[in-house]
Structure 1
Amino acid sequence: MARVFVLGGVNVDRVWRLGAPLHAGRRNIFGAVTRRIGGGGFNTACALDALGHEVVIATSLADDRAGRACCRALRDLGFDTSQVVFRRERTVPTEIFVDPAGERTIVVPASIETRLPNWDLQAIEADLAYVALRRTDPSGLAKLLGRMDVVAQIPVDVGERRPATVLIGSSSDLNVSSLRDPFDHARRLAGSSLRHFVLTDGPRPVQVWDAHGRASIEVTARPPASDTTGAGDVFAAGFIDAYLRGDALEETIRHASGVAGLFLSDRTAFIDGRAQRPRSDPRSADLVDMTQVDAARARKTMTF
């Protein structure tokens, strides 16, 4: 078991189940609407926990009843919440539209995308850091990188630097075909410590660039899923799990893909349906319908 520092979002997701794929300018019909705790940081933290790792989570929550309820849920899940900070505003849900094929469209509040508290990164003791925030302080990450490996989501904002050992991205966020040298592009964002740039593309081969060139790694077919939200976050957790063991690159990618595939076929393996919130606790009233907040501890000894 390793200790992983997760710097990422923890949100209140409002999930809309659509009757057909989302179409701009048309009338879109929805069925059920539910709420749950979500966000890239939360999803990856739950998956790392299920894979047997200890998690320190750094995130920013609204200082209101829903935000405090989310923080209690994080503590109940066993996460170290010493780096959770509160901002003086109300919780605004992240809207997630899920079509019948499980594909999701995410609409994120501007308040989530722009907040950047001052975390005491020097106080963090961990074996590895994972960064999944929209915006970060590159100088703070550089100091963190001096003490541990950093795996990070590739920044999508123009001009943002993100010092890291490994950058992970999705083809939906980056048009790699427009780049003359993808690894050089990634290294300009991550700095000279970058070893690998990993780009996922759904069920298609994962592309990995390093100083020696590009590798295209076939992955297992993606199973049908009723909700693909969080699959990339869980892939990152699987990557970190194998990376910490020192697995070879191809084996690391295949392991990450296998973990994401298990998540898509059974969300309860990582996030949904672990210990439900105590119904006798009146403070949990703010989490009405937010029962899908847990990762299955029974999976801690899972093997692939």
Structure 2
Amino acid sequence: MTSTRYDVVAIGNAIVDVLSKADDAFIAERALNKGSMQLVFSMDEAEALYAAMGPGVEISGGSAANTVAGISALGGRTGFIGQVADDQLGHVFAHDIKAVGVDFTTEPRPGEPSTARCLILVTPDGQRTMNTYLGASQFLPEAALDLGMIRSASILYLEGYLWDPEEPRAAMRAAIAASREAGLRVALTLSDVFCISRHRGDFVALIDNGDVDILFANEAEIISLTEQNDLEGALAAIAPRVPLLVVTCGADGAMALKDGERVTVKAEPIDQVVDTTGAGDLFAAGFLHGQARGLSLEQSLTAGAVCAAEVISHIGARPVADIKALVEARLG
């Protein structure tokens, strides 16, 4: 294995998030699937929804980008690979991710389509309904991969959302091959039930081929992947087939299953859930940072729970408090 320069290198959608508060009636009027993510397939559709939204806050986002931003905030060394356009939002994304200490070297793509954006509606119960226009992010080519960056990581982290478009899917397969040659671990987050419904066969094949060392999912996603009726059935079906399975269960905490052992932690208490955007992303940040630094499963799960609790206590998918200090205080 090559010497490691990075704890985690991630490949994912390069997106600028636009967050706005909305009520349930707004969600229902537009037949949106509350608490989930749906794709917006045209710029016109994205502009119409944006015009109907209330005042918004623009924050650079994207699931895997949020995760490596969190790892960087924890003191980890990270890199990110994702496609932006050569436009204003693309420049905003590049500036923001570099500003939080993440190495980002992917060249912007000239011309149309524009940089991806995610219109996030946050209801009073803290649930987020995401409407994503993928734009340039779905055109990440294999040629854009920084193989030197990938091969010098401890863990390669892949975003399930990006598996949908053909071009980045091929790039991610090439990244997996490079990771295998370099002897590093590959982590995959399933991202959303809609991704699984479209690509269940591919995800299962990656697992059964031994291409996934760490699999992240929430309860609904792992049930969907295994086509079981309940969580316990899903765990029994998939845990023996992946070296490390990590499942988040919302307010019920999270668990990790490895070599027949199950480790669980409770969710960290907070005063109020304000916005669940990024909860899974920051949980993955804490867990992966712990694993890259050689922490136990329980310590890694606890770090993930602390990071998730911080991010759901405010608007936005990136931490605002010192999560490094919070994790260190919690772990003792």
Same fold (TM over 0.5): yes
- Where structure 1 has 5 or more consecutive residues not aligned to the other structure, the ranges are 189-193, 273-295
Counterpart Cα distance in 2 of 1:75 and 1:37: 11
User: Which residue in the other structure is 1:159 paired with?
Assistant: 201
Q: Is the 8 A contact 2:227 2:234 kept in 1?
A: no
Q: Identify, as 1 or 2, the structure richer in helix.
A: 2
Counterpart Cα distance in 2 of 1:15 and 1:227: 10
Counterpart Cα distance in 2 of 1:169 and 1:244: 19
Displacement over 6 Å in runs of 4+: 26-29
User: Which residue in the other structure is 2:176 paired with?
Assistant: 141
Counterpart Cα distance in 2 of 1:46 and 1:66: 18
User: Which residue in the other structure is 2:129 paired with?
Assistant: 105
Question: Residues 84, 184 of structure 1: CA spacing in aligned structure 2 closer, same or farther, 3 A cutoff?
Answer: farther
User: Which residue in the other structure is 1:197 paired with?
Assistant: 245
Counterpart Cα distance in 2 of 1:167 and 1:27: 32
Counterpart Cα distance in 2 of 1:27 and 1:4: 38
Question: Residues 9, 271 of structure 1: CA spacing in aligned structure 2 closer, same or farther, 3 A cutoff?
Answer: farther
User: Which residue in the other structure is 2:9 paired with?
Assistant: 5
User: Which residue in the other structure is 1:238 paired with?
Assistant: 286
Measured on the aligned residues, the alpha-carbon RMSD in Å equals 3.2
Calculate percent identity across the aligned residue pairs.
23
Q: Is the 8 A contact 2:59 2:316 kept in 1?
A: no
Counterpart Cα distance in 2 of 1:54 and 1:160: 30
User: Which residue in the other structure is 2:268 paired with?
Assistant: 220
Tell me the TM-score normalized by structure 1: 0.76
SS of the residue aligned with 1:14?
Answer: strand
Counterpart Cα distance in 1 of 2:319 and 2:107: 20
Q: Is the 8 A contact 1:61 1:87 kept in 2?
A: no
Query: 162-171 or 113-122, which moves further after superposition?
Result: 113-122
Question: Residues 90, 232 of structure 1: CA spacing in aligned structure 2 closer, same or farther, 3 A cutoff?
Answer: same
Aligned mate of 1:127, from 154, 157, 175: 154
Q: Deviations over 1:9-49 (max 9, x none)?
A: 22111222113465434799964323221111221122111
User: Which residue in the other structure is 1:19 paired with?
Assistant: 23
Q: Identify, as 1 or 2, the structure richer in strand.
A: 1
Aligned length: 275
Query: 1:223: Cα distance to partner?
Result: 4.4
Counterpart Cα distance in 2 of 1:5 and 1:110: 21
- Where structure 2 has 5 or more consecutive residues not aligned to the other structure, the ranges are 33-51, 164-168
Tell me the TM-score normalized by structure 2: 0.70
Query: 1:234: Cα distance to partner?
Result: 0.4
Query: 1:153: Cα distance to partner?
Result: 0.4
Query: 1:201: Cα distance to partner?
Result: 1.6
Counterpart Cα distance in 2 of 1:238 and 1:108: 25
Question: Residues 123, 85 of structure 1: CA spacing in aligned structure 2 closer, same or farther, 3 A cutoff?
Answer: farther
